[in-house]
Amino acid sequence: MSRTFEELVAEADSVSVDGWDFSWLDGRATEERPSWGYARAMGERMGRASAALDIQTGGGEVLAGVAELPRLTVATEAWPPNVAKATALLHPLGAAVVADPDEPPLPFADAAFDLVVSRHPVKAHWQEIARVLAPGGTYFSQEVGPASVFELVEYFLGPQPEARKGRDPQAARAAAVAAGLDVIDLRLESLRTEFFDIGAVIYFLRKVVWMVPGFTTEAYLPQLRALHEQIEAEGPFLAHTTRFLIEARKPR
């Protein structure tokens, strides 16, 4: 028997959203994965590096999945609950976690790392990335692309024409080049994303806080109820996640 709107809301409102693990959504939402396989490709690069930095590591889950971490591995994170979670996860693996506000400068010396990685950075500070990379070093990142999941964002906020222009891969390329890096790979994909119940929507918006800033179930209760009824009548809510991969190298 399907659960009521009130039951779904209460459940999704009470679950922890710490870290960057989305396994709570298993069976409740699906997101097509990019073809390049970021975690695997990043792990391969880690295996060849001697000193690596993971910027905005979240709860450290992606970095912890690397089979062989470099001798020197450091991760940064801004949000205190994630700093604690990443520390507990990564310290036993030999990686240090540094609390950092995600604003320049990075708390490291020039040319400190031969590999810098970041999965879904809020903002890539290209001048700082270039500064901490050693000559010949590589930056490897998967970023959220333009207008990602905007079908859901605009359901709650209405049309967002200016915001749709943000997170442009070509702007990332230009910023990397301006910082003195050579862009050696840049790819963009649009990926089918479905939400099967209103609890999945609530959990997603509580976790990915910048999608609908200030989101609470109380503030958006009428829209949530209407969307619940739409999903019950018509099936999953369809959106499209966008991701881009960028790899840049510092000239020797």
165-212 pLDDT tens trace: 999 999 999 999 999 999 999 999 999 999 999 999 999 999 999 899
DSSP 34: P
What is the rounded average pLDDT of the residues 53-73?
96
Q: Going edge to edge, which strands form the sheet with 96-99?
A: 29-31, 182-195, 237-249, 133-144, 113-119, 51-54, 72-77, 96-99
Q: What is the CATH number of the domain that holds 92?
A: 3.40.50.150
Which contacts (CB < 8 Å, 24+ apart) does range 163-167 have? Answer: 167/143, 167/242
Q: Which residue has the tokens 């809020």?
A: 122
Number of Cβ within a 10 Å radius of residue 167: 17
Nearest residue to 75 via CA among 117, 43, 110, 47: 117
Nearest residue to 173 via CA among 122, 147, 139, 134: 139
The confidence score (pLDDT) of residue 2 equals 80
8-24 pLDDT, tens digit per residue, is 999 999 999 987 789 99
Half-sphere exposure of 240 (CA within 13 A, CB side): 9
Which range marks the domain in which residue 143 is found? Answer: 5-249
Whole-angstrom distance, CA of residue 57 vs CA of residue 64: 10
Distance of CA 56 to the CA centre of its chain: 9
The confidence score (pLDDT) of residue 1 equals 60
How sure is the predictor about 39, in pLDDT bands with cuts at 50, 70 and 90?
very high
The confidence score (pLDDT) of residue 32 equals 96
SS3 assignment, position 179:
coil
Q: Are residues 83 and 77 in contact, defined by beta-carbon separation less than 8 angstroms? A: yes
DSSP 146: T
What is the rounded average pLDDT of the residues 52-73?
96
pTM beyond 0.85: yes
What is the rounded average pLDDT of the residues 128-135?
98
79-92 pLDDT, tens digit per residue, is 898 999 999 999 99
Q: How far apart are the first and last CA of the chain?
A: 63
Q: Are residues 179 and 127 in contact, defined by beta-carbon separation less than 8 angstroms? A: yes
Number of Cβ within a 10 Å radius of residue 136: 11
Whole-angstrom distance, CA of residue 223 vs CA of residue 60: 34
What is the rounded average pLDDT of the residues 150-161?
96
The domain tally of the chain equals: 1
How sure is the predictor about 113, in pLDDT bands with cuts at 50, 70 and 90?
very high
